[in-house]
Amino acid sequence: MKTVIKFLVLFAVLGLIATGEKGEAAVSIIVSGSWSLSIDASDLVAGAGSDLIDTYESNSDQIVLDIDVGRGNFRVDVSKINTNWHSDFQLYVRRTSDGTGSGEISGGTSYQEVTDTYQSLFTFKKDRTGINLQLKLSGVSVQVAPDTYTTTVYYTVVKI
């Protein structure tokens, strides 16, 4: 009997729309993209009896952020809420482009783990469009029961 281990990891990505302080223009973030990954017997390191490849990366432009803030100093925070997630999995994100816009952007170019607590991903000034993000999943193993694992990543703009 042939057994195929299959995982489906889906990263639904949402952006939160924040409102500026009283008297300021509204702040918005539009998040485009998601990442779905199906892991099966073809991902075994050395065929039957071996472990699965333990780390997977999305395309470098898998997620795209368009941010409308007007003027000021801002940061993008990131967190996740797990629907069905194995404790062995780690999800990481990094910024792979500056996007376009007249303001500065800095930080976030190295992978950082996405947790259930909001963390700063990068800072920027003024409107930015087309900021590309890449995701990485690690901790995959045949020791993890086959299932559909899902988490939702949240990106939030914060005025600093």
Q: Tell me the mean pLDDT per 10 residues along the chain, length 160.
A: 39 46 67 91 86 94 93 93 94 97 93 97 95 96 91 92
The C-alpha atoms of residue 33 and residue 128 are separated, in whole angstroms, by 17
Question: Tell me, what's the pLDDT at 102?
Answer: 84
Contacts of residue 150, defined as CB under 8 A and 6 or more positions apart, other chains included, come to 9, 10, 11, 12, 82, 83, 84, 85
pLDDT of residue 24: 56
pLDDT at 18 (0 to 100): 47
pLDDT, residue 3, reads 36
- The three-point CA angle 119-99-104 to 5° equals 70
Given this model, what pLDDT does residue 6 score?
A: 41
The pTM is what?
0.85
